[in-house]
Structure 1
Amino acid sequence: MERIDALKLIAEQARNGELVFPTGLDVSLKLLQQLDDPDCHIDRAVQLIKNDPLLAARVVAVANSAVYSRGGQAITDLRNAVSRIGLRTTRTLTMAIATRQMAGTPAQPALRAASEQLWAHTASVAALAQIIARRITRLDPETAFFAGIIHEIGGFYLISRATEFPELLQGEPADWSEQAEPAVGRAILTRLSIPEPVSQAIEALWDGLRSLPPVTLGDTLLLANELATVASPLNESSATRAPDSAPLIDAVVDDATLSSILEESASEVESLAAALRF
């Protein structure tokens, strides 16, 4: 099957609600449901997370990142880590695990490399979105962080389907965004009951239109995507930040420029992005 035909087929299946999730994803989604329970308090959350060593490691790493530690003492135990970052961020990190799992466990080196690069891109965007929301757009940083974590969830799904359709990752990145990304992304966001403000922000990312200085959650996500230090292997509009990109983001915010604010926050962004990598 030709690549374009395969993309169209996957998009049509998604529109019809025919999503094929990789084995193992159900465990993370069940954990998300349990963490969403209003009666799930910190002690219960810690017990649940202990059953997932990868998630537990990410929770502790993020709790010790510069964004959340604020120069505080390093944390080595899970309960204090969850207490420091809060249950919302803990849930976002659970979604991070689920997002990465969406790619499955591809045996082919090219697919593994694409999955690793896409996650490095995701980590960079999520960290930037959190900082941009907190320091520039004055939006809820945790919502922006969550949006950054899942903004490429459709791309991870595409990688999982590439085992069935090897031609998917061959050719131009624009084919994915033009032929399948919105349809697949919308179907997954709906299936996972992603809140509408986050879904709308991701829709804005697909549209590619933002204002400067950024104002909305969509603007926040778009700017983070443009400034990410790792490009998505699936979308040519996502490019590594160029050395001469600063003039493009020198809009004034509270008597400072976007570039100067982001420069001041660079260590926090890198610390949080590094904590997310796995």
Structure 2
Amino acid sequence: MEVRELLAQTHKLPNVPDIVRELIQQLNNPNADYGDIADKVIKDQTLSLKILRLVNSAHFGLSRKVSSINEAVVMLGMTQLKTMVIASGIAGSVKEVDGLDLKKFWSDSFRVAALAKWYAEKSTGVDPDTAFTVGLIHNIGRLLLHITKPKLAEAIQTLVDQSDCSRSDAEMERLNFTTPEAGQALLALWQFPENLGDTVRYHRQPLSAEAPSPLCATLHIACYINAAIGKQQPLEEVIAMFPSAEAELAGLPANIAAVSEEAMQIESGLDGLI
């Protein structure tokens, strides 16, 4: 089987809003006109309502109710609004998928995104907004597989659950490629920046990439912590097994493993977008 067989089913592929594509294209553009972005959000009633509902939730604890996107920008800042637009647009691109708990899928993706951003803020060379975005879409290939080949996706999950093999090995056995590779191909189809696709492809083994990147290493660490949270691993074990080589590549402080407990308390605050 080849990745193109998944991408050929265009009628099943997620539909990412144009405003989200535009924001992602401008992640590293210091001259981006985010005022224009806010205007476009205002015109998208569904997106506006979801964002305003989240802004007014207890998570943000604002002193008064926010009734417009412009007010949200003033209260939270454009960076936070940009995060919400990307998260809402990506998560809202798919409504229902056979064999996949979308609420859990996006909740996990949101937390990986928040963790990636948290670690990026402590690194010497990773942009936090880019780290958040790639964390959000890091598992998009698995979503693509469930949308286009649900029975194969279920078979792979069964193989992982009933054996000692890794997900990558199970995917190679059943597909002859991995879902991160499929994710890279989908992001290329969407014309997302190339570095995002490369990061998604190699995030499971960032040191194996032809050109290992700090962004990819940061995402790998975020996924490691998210998995540890899911398994309820003891803190001592999380620290002992912390991916130190990836931490060095990411440009993180030498004592970064020691603050794992702080990282494991992070919540995305975005589940209200699901």
- TM-score normalised to the size of structure 2? 0.69
How much has 1:242 moved relative to structure 2?
Answer: 1.8
Aligned to 2:136: 149
1:52-84 CA-partner distances (Å, limit 9, x unpaired): 25642476269955xxx9xx7566343232345
Is contact 2:112-2:226 (8 Å) kept? Answer: yes
User: Structure 2 vs 1, CA of residues 55 and 159 (structure 1 numbering), >3 Å: closer, same or farther?
Assistant: farther
1:198-254 CA-partner distances (Å, limit 9, x unpaired): 2222222143538xxx970111000100110578xxxxxxx6352111122395988
Structure 2 unaligned residues grouped into runs of 5+: 27-31, 161-166
How much has 1:120 moved relative to structure 2?
Answer: 2.1
Q: Distance in 1 between matches of 2:243 and 2:152?
A: 41
Aligned to 1:30: 18
Is contact 1:96-1:150 (8 Å) kept? Answer: no
Query: Which segment drifts farther, 36-45 or 144-153?
Result: 36-45
> Is residue 77 of structure 2 the alignment partner of residue 82 of structure 1?
no
Q: Distance in 2 between matches of 1:197 and 1:118?
A: 23
Aligned to 1:236: none
Aligned to 2:154: 169
Q: Distance in 2 between matches of 1:205 and 1:255?
A: 20
User: Structure 2 vs 1, CA of residues 136 and 183 (structure 1 numbering), >3 Å: closer, same or farther?
Assistant: closer
Aligned to 1:242: 233
Aligned to 1:4: none
Map 1:176-187 onto structure 2 (within 5 A). 176=171, 179=175, 180=177, 181-187=179-185
1:36-57 CA-partner distances (Å, limit 9, x unpaired): 7956526514413444256424
Aligned to 2:106: 119
Aligned to 2:8: 18
User: Structure 2 vs 1, CA of residues 183 and 34 (structure 1 numbering), >3 Å: closer, same or farther?
Assistant: closer
Q: Distance in 2 between matches of 1:246 and 1:146?
A: 26
User: Structure 2 vs 1, CA of residues 230 and 22 (structure 1 numbering), >3 Å: closer, same or farther?
Assistant: farther
Q: How many residues align?
A: 243
Structure 1 unaligned residues grouped into runs of 5+: 1-7, 232-238
Identity %: 21
- TM-score normalised to the size of structure 1? 0.68
How much has 1:187 moved relative to structure 2?
Answer: 1.9
Aligned to 1:234: none
Is contact 2:116-2:132 (8 Å) kept? Answer: yes
